[in-house]
Chains A and B, each alone.
Chain A
């Protein structure tokens, strides 16, 4: 369990004393970097909170001076700034989810995780302050490392600081942390300080429309930019995926809805069909690709790979065969033209098989392979203009 905030920092005094013994022992096996990291963090936490936590500054510096030069270098080599950047981005993202959670419990959990990521930035700041203290006590190696790291950390801060408004759901916890910092160190700690005022506590909820409240001018402008009515242009990639039958359910739905109301998109759909007819004409005499035909980076067909028994502009008919089931899937490719599909087994020609909507389209279960062997199924597809296509499938 994580200790309450003030106690956590008070415990640093004892921790530093214990680390002093480890450094004085000097015979710790393995990489000294992690030990140095703990010393710097503990020392820096105390140096940045001299008013909240009473610790002798001289004692802290004395422990820092015990750090060997090589060990300090080893620690600095292990500082992972890209990871820190990712953690700060994640904190901003989780803080928004914490502000508008699916459930209150989830919100609490996400806020806790986001704070842990902010603590990571704060611990690095403590290490830098400790490093600077070491440098000002005559350690030239610490000065070089400090200046290099400070510059690199400033780059991370510049990239992540603009996302501070996203952290407002954490404001209560951030204020507690900020209050423990000495005034001189508070201004730099943007992760605890920027947009942490009470007036911003509900900022994300207001931006999300979950709560009512007054917005400052910049946020008001952003609100106007986002809430203005807009029609999204269907992109080249979306149309292409749709054409290949790879569009997701949502993409297909969006396309269908937009095409119903947008004359330009209707024209695009008509051009797609015309182009498809042209492709069918210019490829009709081509040899169908052999199963053994070389394909790029050949991959063994999966056991669940379907057999395409019919492929038309408006729909595809696929047959999936597994050891236990044979299944026909009718996949609409033009949702604006596809109306309905039915499947009949040759041994029960009057009874349409039940269907269900699956990931790939309308799925019809024909039964076990041994039950349907030698039989056929008739797939009937009706289009919105009344045209009907019937396809025989050998089972």
Chain B
């Protein structure tokens, strides 16, 4: 019987050559199943949540992640930090651990009432029916704004990572102090101001752009011409 390392090498060889490796991978992760269950139970204990039935789903989720990204990630990590971290089993168990954490973290978040950042005030009409309608409309708007913002944020991270890093500290972490942002990023204070300003401009432009695209199928092609010179 092949050892774990030999079987893992075979999987990697097959993957590199574009051959099917699901059978070998299935065999390998099956060997680690008990260890994975132990890790899942300990994470469940830390969250004080979960049932034995969850273990199957979490294990499958981890296997999917290992196949999708983990094999390449493992190669990268084992090159950067050789040593104990280079064991594929340890690496897989870390994926299991994070899949379990993600699951119970999400469950707790879903139990929380509503999104975290949508406590915007809105005017409340006097009649109850109107009030209910206004509340529903406001909630829908806030949900839409929430999605628009995070889509714009993902684009900013992708296209302008330096500005995104500055904005992340300044806005999401509520640092509100350019000297501190500059210190962490290793840039000048002036540069921090500029990056945050550009980030803000880009985010707003991305939100506008996404709106325009969404509206395009329903609007006349020259819908923005009122602003032309």
Contacts and interface: CB of A to CB of B under 8 A. Distances in A.
Interface string B140-164: 0000010011001100000110000
Contacts of B5: 289-290, 293-294
A243 B39 CA distance: 15
B172 A226 contact: no
Given A230-B117, A275-B42, A295-B9, A289 B87 contact: yes
* Interface residues of chain A: helix, strand, loop or mixed (majority): helix
Contact of A166 (B84, B116, B200, B205): B205
B64 interface: no
Contact of B42 (A162, A198, A249, A277): A277
B93 to A, nearest CB: 5
Contacts of A162: 208-209, 212-213, 216
B82 interface: yes
> Does more than half of chain B's interface fall in helix, strand or loop, or is it mixed?
helix
Range, interface on chain B: 35 or more
A3 interface: no
Interface string A235-261: 010011001111001100110011000
A311 B11 CA distance: 27
Interface in B1-32: 5-6, 8-9, 11-13, 15-16
A204 B205 contact: yes
A194 B173 contact: no
Contacts of A196: 228-229
B63 to A, nearest CB: 15
B104 A271 contact: yes
A34 B89 CA distance: 58
Contacts of A270: 46
A218 interface: yes
Interface stretch (A4-12, A37-45, A133-141, A301-309): A301-309
A249 to B, nearest CB: 7
B184 A249 contact: yes
A73 interface: no
A212 to B, nearest CB: 13
A187 interface: yes
Interface in B79-94: 79-87, 89-90, 93-94
A282 B98 CA distance: 16
Given A194-B224, A196-B228, A208 B98 contact: no
A296 B12 contact: yes
A278 B35 CA distance: 9
A27 interface: no
B200 A93 contact: no
Contacts of A233: 109
B120 A228 contact: yes
Contacts of A207: 200-201, 204-205
A138 to B, nearest CB: 30
A164 interface: yes
Contacts of B212: 161-162
A276 B159 CA distance: 34
Given A96-B205, A226-B204, A305-B82, A250 B184 contact: yes
B139 interface: no
Contacts of B173: 232, 254, 257-258
A100 B197 contact: yes
A178 to B, nearest CB: 6
A270 B201 CA distance: 38
B204 A254 contact: no
A272 interface: yes
Given A197-B228, A279-B93, A231 B117 contact: yes
A226 B16 CA distance: 43
A92 B171 CA distance: 24
Instruction: Give me the 9 closest cross-chain CB pairs, A-B, nearest first.
Output: A296-B12, A308-B83, A294-B9, A208-B201, A275-B97, A271-B46, A208-B197, A162-B212, A278-B42
Given A193-B228, A208-B200, A271-B46, 18 more contacts: A92-B205, A162-B212, A209-B196, A222-B207, A225-B148, A228-B117, A230-B117, A236-B98, A240-B94, A254-B168, A254-B169, A274-B43, A278-B42, A279-B97, A283-B87, A294-B8, A296-B71, A297-B16
Interface of B: 5-6, 8-9, 11-13, 15-16, 34-35, 38-39, 41-43, 45-47, 71, 74-75, 77-87, 89-90, 93-95, 97-98, 100-102, 104-105, 108-109, 116-117, 120, 145, 148-149, 152-153, 159-160, 165, 168-169, 171-175, 184-185, 190-191, 194, 196-198, 200-205, 207-209, 211-213, 216, 222, 224-225, 227-229
23 contacts: A101-B194, A162-B208, A162-B213, A164-B224, A165-B205, A194-B228, A197-B227, A205-B201, A222-B211, A224-B145, A226-B207, A233-B109, A239-B98, A239-B101, A271-B43, A275-B39, A282-B39, A283-B89, A295-B86, A296-B13, A296-B71, A299-B75, A311-B85
